Structure 1
Amino acid sequence: MGIGHRLISGGVYHRAPEVPYVNERRGRAVKKLLLVALAAIGGLLVYRQIQADRAEQDLWTEATDSVPAGSGV
């Protein structure tokens, strides 16, 4: 007796055997998802480093500027 993908035998549930092709496709999908997630995390880290570098450069520019800010010259 089959109900969906599960078979009932003496009150114990047994899963129908998985098709190797389905497992292979699922494995590829998981790998692609992990790759996309890693790429997104890497992109975020690069973006944050660029922002930090710009902030530091702005600070150095302000600290070493020969004309003080608001002097009107």
Structure 2
Amino acid sequence: MPGHRSVSVGVYCWAPEVPYVNERRGRAVKKLLLVALAAIGGLLVYRQIQADRAEQDLWTEATDSVPSGSGV
């Protein structure tokens, strides 16, 4: 039986697996890596957008013609 332990010369060993099992496992790993890379990419884009917004807010505050505490 592929994928099950067999007794060989008194030592437990694993029989070779069916090729399609390794192929399916490879596809699953590739999909998982793709999802992980997409999540990391999304996080980096989100952080860059937040940094750009913070910088824009800082420039808006620095170049505002009326100071916020003037009461005008």
**TM-score normalized by the length of structure 2:** 0.90
* Structure 1 runs of 4+ with >6 Å offset: none
Query: For the aligned residues, what is the CA RMSD?
Result: 1.8
Give the CA deviation at 1:26. 0.3
Give the CA deviation at 1:15. 0.9
- Comparing 15-24 with 34-43, greater Cα deviation is found at 15-24
Report the count of equivalent residues. Answer: 71
Secondary structure of the 1:4 match is coil
Distance 2:18 2:66 in 1: 73
Q: Deviations over 1:21-42 (max 9, x none)?
A: 0000000000000000000000
Distance 1:30 1:57 in 2: 40
- Larger relative contact order (C-alpha < 8 A, sep ≥ 6)? 2
Stretches of structure 2 that go unaligned for 5 or more consecutive residues are none
Secondary structure of the 2:70 match is coil
Percent identity between matched residues is 90
Give the CA deviation at 1:4. 7.6
Give the CA deviation at 1:11. 2.6
Stretches of structure 1 that go unaligned for 5 or more consecutive residues are none
